Amino acid sequence: MRPNVIIPKEPEIPCVEEFSLNNKTKLYTYSTQRTDLVSLYITVPCGYKYATNPVVGKFAWEMIKAGTNKKSSIQIAEELNYYGASLDISVNPDSVNISLVALKDFFLQAIDLLFELLTDAIYPKKELLLQKQETLGILKIENKKVESIANKNFYKLLFGANHPYGRYIKYSDIFLTQRKNLLNFAKKYFDFSQSLWGLAGNYDNEIIRSVTEHFNVLPVLNIEDYAINSKEPAKKSLHINKKSSLQTAIKMGCQIKSLREKDYPYFLIGQTIFGGYFGSRLNKNIREEKGLTYGIFSRTNHFKYQSVWSIAAEVKADQTNFAIKEIRTEYEKFINEPINDEELNRVRNYMMGTSLFAFDGAFNIIKNQLKMNDLGVSVDSYYKNLFYVIKNANEKEIREKFAEYVPWEKMIVVTAGKVETR
Amino acid sequence: MLNQSFKKGSLSNGLRYILYPVKDTSLVCVNMFYFVGSRDEEPDKTGFAHLFEHLMFAGSEQAPSFDNEVESAGGVNNAFTTQDYTDYFIELPADNVELALWLESDRMRHLNINEKSLNIQKNVVIEEFKETHLNQPYGDLFHILSDLCYTKHPYRWPTIGLSPEHIEKATIEDVQSFYDKWYQPNNAILAISGKFNENIEDLIKKYFENIPSNLISERNYPIDPPIEHQVKKIVKRDVPLNLIVIAFAMPGRLSPEYSTYDILSDILGNDNSSRLYASLVKEKKLFISVDASIMGSVDPGLMIISGIVKPSVDVSKAEAALWDELVNFNKKPITDRELEKVKNMYLSSLSMDIYDLQKLGFELSFYEALSKAELLFENYDVYRSITKEDIMSLADRILNPDRAFVLNYLKK
């Protein structure tokens, strides 16, 4: 006998503690005894858009691990490994996200090391050469994958080749990067005045004190962040021919309004029903009924100043046109036909239940806090509005907002693979 | 130290269960581990265990749509198949743990097996085969390597299968007999990690106790004999960079030396302070990257060292330099700090894994299936007890060109 399903309750928004690092910058903390690990997260709004060559911005941040006046790259790697630490640095157009995870017993030493890297990176020439070769190698491998080709051409078409969100890395960008460019970028743009800080896991007061003390020695340049406008896409579709490919990668979508908008959750429910979860319309039709793909999903991607909605799949090469036609059919059906209660309630429960994941565990809570703050949203107001809409939106509002956010006329379609699709 | 308190139990039909309560969460993960993987397939029908994993979502007697049920309860579910096992998990709000138990019990008792879902999932799996193996640079690497390193044992084919044709051949009779043979309560481990109430054992009994079980036949797969001379293969593919892989045979998961192999591989090539990386990437500048790891298989497996050669470097020169590092491993004594470092990395990675409810449930099930769930934590003491002498003695015995499988995966 099927047990009764308990409708997922509205998650409680966790209470994150805040400490002031200075009059502008806060350190968000969430403690747990359930682990021996501590994580420090830093988001700095000085991404690669500040450099004409995106590789300069990326390398300037990523290569802080490549050497300081006191330590070689191998010594740095050895220390991190000894502390059971991983230091990840991910650079996007607007911001850089730094995460340091280490064993509690070594976390103070790991913090000392991180701050040495942030203030004393020297970018040795021989390390730059190695980094260039590694990046070039990875890029060459990526350029063989239809999914990567479709993805970068999608963003290029959507924002323009020179816009930071559409500008992808070319081989020449790597060749042209010099040590002096990195030193210059670090000097001009390593600015912690608007940075966001988070600490999670099994930390103690001494760790908080150490973070606070170290923060005070970081450079403060008060750089004004800015958005860059994009033009309308030059065309609606693009095919990149890869004759030997067994599948064609499809990437299609458009720019959408920001998640800061009050009506965004209505769209989010619609996007979830349409292609945002395993039981979505797209996946049911194109994978589970027709077997054309291993998986098809639609998703939102929020840059700091613009947001994108896209659909992606790799499909049987000779069925590409058919798959795109089916996507269109599902779109029209979604816009025009009422959503039945069973499906709508399923998605309400699914979205409410899976919201818990963002609030589960100290690491997720703090990462989510920084991500939302970086996008200019308060966790409290965003989720309260989201939960309200999940509970109260009616099916017509959902379809109308979906059609308003993503009108078919705005859609661009990029394909990479064997078959010329148009 | 990590929380090691969990409870175990078993039912009269042989189903074993593990309960690991976690306080600061409102979620629960129901992990169902079946001890069947691609090593249990017929040589002419490879890829079947993984195809079957897809069919486990095609609905069961009382729950025609597995995914819809989980999603309606606010949860997510997924599964993965390896050479040794297939693991299924549902992660959802703790209030709905009973629904997850009902769903797992219903598909253990009576799976809906029909031609339509078989045919669709064959297509989906063939597309997965293309997306993850055939249409990717280096995507057939494990096909070639498995074939090179094994001649007898079923590890000679990868989990995805030897070719899409094998998937196409699967019949409804194959599906039924595989289900009857392996998907039995006495071949499964149920692990529940997260938030749950005291009545959880009553619920497990309610849903699983009446499922009948079958005898699970003993496995007796042929083990490949040790090689006396190097086995080498060179292939050319449409890839941008040359890749060298060196593999050494190693004992299975329960062997006393398993963890020494693990530590040796970490010293050799785990991350950017490892010996091979420091020497071959940083100092001699012959490779773009280099890595060493163990496969972690239940039966005797492989320790694998792989490196992407710099474009300007001759492959034979790079391979010679790699061998130089391996055969001279013991000329540079392991320091206390070097050993401590890899042990700290192990503890950190274990801590990260068990913080995740799903990984925790899976790891406990896996060790329970092998021997006992407690090994997940006891292993840490085993790793702590390994000495420099243990590692050097092992290196002396195995890092030998005559005992190696070598693959040069070259660009056309």
- Dump the DSSP string for A29-69: EEE-SS-SEEEEEEEES--GGGSSSHHHHHHHHHGGGGBBS
B1 confidence band (pLDDT: 50, 70, 90): low
What is the tens place of the pLDDT at every residue in B83-92? Answer: 999 999 999 9
Q: Is residue B112 assigned to a domain? A: yes
A23 to each of A29, A163, A212, how far by Cα in Å?
17, 34, 12
Task: List CB contacts (< 8 A) between A357 and chain B.
Answer: 27, 76, 91
Taking an 8 Å cut-off on Cβ atoms, the answer to whether B348 and A102 are in contact is yes
Q: Is residue B71 assigned to a domain? A: yes
Taking an 8 Å cut-off on Cβ atoms, the answer to whether A81 and B72 are in contact is no
Q: Is residue B356 assigned to a domain? A: yes
Query: How much is the average pLDDT of A169-173?
Result: 97
A243 confidence band (pLDDT: 50, 70, 90): confident
Where do the CATH 3.30.830.10 domains begin and end in chain A?
17-215, 237-417
Residue A421 has pLDDT above 60, yes or no: no
Measure the CA–CA gap between B145 and B234, rounded to whole angstroms. Answer: 11
What is the tens place of the pLDDT at every residue in B30-67? Answer: 999 999 999 999 999 999 999 999 999 999 999 999 99
Pairing state of beta strands A412-417 and A237-241? Answer: parallel
Instruction: Give the length of chain B.
Output: 412
- Number of Cβ within 10 Å of residue B137's Cβ equals 19
Q: Is residue B220 assigned to a domain? A: no
One-letter amino acid of A354: T
Which residues sit opposite A91 in a β-bridge? A96
Residue closest to B203 by CA, chosen among B97, B76, B91: B97
Distance from the B268 Cα atom to the nearest Cα atom in chain A, whole angstroms: 13
Q: Tell me, yes or no, whether B94 and B33 share the same domain.
A: yes
Q: Tell me, yes or no, whether B276 and B351 share the same domain.
A: yes
Structure tokens at B378: 């006891």
Taking an 8 Å cut-off on Cβ atoms, the answer to whether B71 and A279 are in contact is yes
Q: What are phi and psi of B306, to 5 degrees?
A: -135, 150
Tell me the CB-side half-sphere exposure of residue B46, using CA atoms within 13 A: 19
Taking an 8 Å cut-off on Cβ atoms, the answer to whether A141 and B337 are in contact is no
Query: How much is the average pLDDT of B118-134?
Result: 94
Q: What is the mean pLDDT of chain A?
A: 96
Query: How much is the average pLDDT of B116-123?
Result: 94
Residue A422 has pLDDT above 60, yes or no: no
Distance from the B302 Cα atom to the nearest Cα atom in chain A, whole angstroms: 24
Task: List CB contacts (< 8 A) between B127 and chain A.
Answer: 247, 291-294, 314-316
Task: List CB contacts (< 8 A) between B130 and chain A.
Answer: 246-247, 314
Task: List CB contacts (< 8 A) between B24 and chain A.
Answer: 32, 34, 361
Residue closest to B194 by CA, chosen among B19, B390, B335: B19
Residue A42 has pLDDT above 70, yes or no: yes
B296 confidence band (pLDDT: 50, 70, 90): very high
User: Are A106 and A78 contacting, i.e. CB atoms less than 8 angstroms apart?
Assistant: no
Per cent of chain B over pLDDT 90 is: 97
B307 confidence band (pLDDT: 50, 70, 90): very high
Nearest CB neighbour to B273, from listed A9, A81, A291:
A81
Which residues sit opposite B31 in a β-bridge? B89, B191
Listing DSSP states for A183-243 in one string gives HHHHHHH---TT-EEEEEES--HHHHHHHHHHHTTS----PPP-----PPPS-SEEEEE-T
Taking an 8 Å cut-off on Cβ atoms, the answer to whether A8 and B96 are in contact is yes
Q: Is residue B136 assigned to a domain? A: yes
Q: Tell me, yes or no, whether B180 and B89 share the same domain.
A: yes
Residue closest to B30 by CA, chosen among B69, B3, B65, B59: B69
Measure the CA–CA gap between A103 and B108, rounded to whole angstroms. Answer: 40
Domain count, chain B: 2
Query: How much is the average pLDDT of A354-361?
Result: 93
A418 confidence band (pLDDT: 50, 70, 90): confident
Q: Tell me, yes or no, whether B82 and B40 share the same domain.
A: yes
Q: Tell me, yes or no, whether B188 and B235 share the same domain.
A: no
Taking an 8 Å cut-off on Cβ atoms, the answer to whether B102 and A3 are in contact is yes
What is the tens place of the pLDDT at every residue in A191-231? Answer: 999 999 999 999 999 999 999 999 999 999 999 999 998 88
Distance from the B354 Cα atom to the nearest Cα atom in chain A, whole angstroms: 8
Query: How much is the average pLDDT of B248-265?
Result: 97
- Number of Cβ within 10 Å of residue A77's Cβ equals 21
Q: pLDDT at position B2, please?
A: 63
Q: What is the sign of the dihedral through the CA atoms of B64, B70, B76 and B79?
A: negative
Taking an 8 Å cut-off on Cβ atoms, the answer to whether B73 and A294 are in contact is no
Q: Tell me, yes or no, whether B100 and B178 share the same domain.
A: yes
ipTM score here?
A: 0.95
A184 to each of A115, A171, B147, B152, B224, how far by Cα in Å?
19, 21, 51, 59, 58
Distance from the B368 Cα atom to the nearest Cα atom in chain A, whole angstroms: 22
Structure tokens at B145: 């390597």
Nearest CA in chain B to A273: B71
Residues 6+ apart with CB under 8 A from B403: B226, B227, B230, B248, B249
Any B CB within 8 A of A34 CB: yes
Distance from the A3 Cα atom to the nearest Cα atom in chain B, whole angstroms: 6
Query: How much is the average pLDDT of A223-242?
Result: 92
Residue A308's H or E segment, with its range, is strand A307-316
B4 confidence band (pLDDT: 50, 70, 90): confident
Measure the CA–CA gap between A348 and A342, rounded to whole angstroms. Answer: 10
Task: List CB contacts (< 8 A) between A8 and chain B.
Answer: 73-74, 93, 95-96
| Domain A237-417, second-level architecture | 2-Layer Sandwich (3.30)
Listing DSSP states for B239-274 in one string gives -SS-EEEEEEEE--TTSTTHHHHHHHHHHHHSSTTS
Nearest CA in chain A to B194: A360
Per cent of chain A over pLDDT 90 is: 94
Measure the CA–CA gap between B341 and B54, rounded to whole angstroms. Answer: 41
Residue B258 has pLDDT above 90, yes or no: yes
Any B CB within 8 A of A80 CB: yes
A23 confidence band (pLDDT: 50, 70, 90): confident
Pairing state of beta strands A96-103 and A37-44? Answer: antiparallel
Nearest CB neighbour to A137, from listed B63, B75, B308:
B308
Nearest CB neighbour to B282, from listed A9, A11, A73:
A73
Structure tokens at B135: 């249409």
Measure the CA–CA gap between B234 and B394, rounded to whole angstroms. Answer: 28
User: Are A212 and A22 contacting, i.e. CB atoms less than 8 angstroms apart?
Assistant: no
Residue closest to B167 by CA, chosen among B81, B283, B292, B285: B81
Distance from the A273 Cα atom to the nearest Cα atom in chain B, whole angstroms: 11
What is the tens place of the pLDDT at every residue in A68-95? Answer: 999 999 999 999 999 999 999 999 999 9
Residue A320 has pLDDT above 80, yes or no: yes
Q: Tell me, yes or no, whether B249 and B194 share the same domain.
A: no
Nearest CB neighbour to A81, from listed B125, B281, B341:
B341
Q: Tell me, yes or no, whether B268 and B397 share the same domain.
A: yes
Distance from the A227 Cα atom to the nearest Cα atom in chain B, whole angstroms: 36
What is the tens place of the pLDDT at every residue in B163-206? Answer: 999 999 999 999 999 999 999 999 999 999 999 999 999 999 99
A379 confidence band (pLDDT: 50, 70, 90): very high
Q: Tell me, yes or no, whether B16 and B157 share the same domain.
A: yes
Q: Which of B54, B65, B112, B130 to mutate to test the interface with A (most CBs of A within 10 A)?
A: B130
Q: Which of B26, B127, B287, B337 to mutate to test the interface with A (most CBs of A within 10 A)?
A: B127
User: Are A200 and A365 contacting, i.e. CB atoms less than 8 angstroms apart?
Assistant: yes
Q: Tell me, yes or no, whether B114 and B238 share the same domain.
A: no
Q: What is the DSSP letter of A275?
A: I
Q: Is residue B365 assigned to a domain? A: yes
Nearest CB neighbour to B74, from listed A8, A247, A294:
A8
Taking an 8 Å cut-off on Cβ atoms, the answer to whether A6 and B96 are in contact is yes
Q: What is the CATH number of domain A17-215?
A: 3.30.830.10
The residues in A 297-356 lying below 8 A from B, measured between CB atoms, are: 314-316, 345-347, 349-350, 352-354, 356
Taking an 8 Å cut-off on Cβ atoms, the answer to whether B124 and A347 are in contact is no
User: Are A170 and A98 contacting, i.e. CB atoms less than 8 angstroms apart?
Assistant: no
Any B CB within 8 A of A149 CB: no
Taking an 8 Å cut-off on Cβ atoms, the answer to whether B135 and A245 are in contact is yes
Any B CB within 8 A of A103 CB: yes
Task: List CB contacts (< 8 A) between A354 and chain B.
Answer: 74-76
Residue A419 has pLDDT above 80, yes or no: no
Q: Tell me, yes or no, whether B189 and B258 share the same domain.
A: no
Residue A33 has pLDDT above 50, yes or no: yes
Nearest CB neighbour to A279, from listed B68, B271, B349:
B68
Nearest CB neighbour to B240, from listed A84, A101, A140:
A140
Query: How much is the average pLDDT of B124-148?
Result: 95
CATH number at residue B291: 3.30.830.10
H helices of B150-229, where? 164-168, 172-182, 200-208
What is the tens place of the pLDDT at every residue in A98-140? Answer: 999 999 999 999 999 999 999 999 999 999 999 999 999 999 9
Distance from the B254 Cα atom to the nearest Cα atom in chain A, whole angstroms: 26
B23 confidence band (pLDDT: 50, 70, 90): confident
Domain range for B237: 231-411
Q: Tell me, yes or no, whether B196 and B118 share the same domain.
A: yes
Which residues sit opposite B408 in a β-bridge? B234, B244
Measure the CA–CA gap between B133 and B158, rounded to whole angstroms. Answer: 11
Distance from the A337 Cα atom to the nearest Cα atom in chain B, whole angstroms: 20
A420 confidence band (pLDDT: 50, 70, 90): low
Q: What is the sign of the dihedral through the CA atoms of B352, B353, B359 and B364?
A: negative
Nearest CB neighbour to B72, from listed A37, A81, A346:
A346
Any B CB within 8 A of A30 CB: no
Taking an 8 Å cut-off on Cβ atoms, the answer to whether B99 and A5 are in contact is yes
Measure the CA–CA gap between B185 and B14, rounded to whole angstroms. Answer: 6
A-B Cβ pairs (cutoff 8 Å, strict) = 196
Q: Is residue B151 assigned to a domain? A: yes
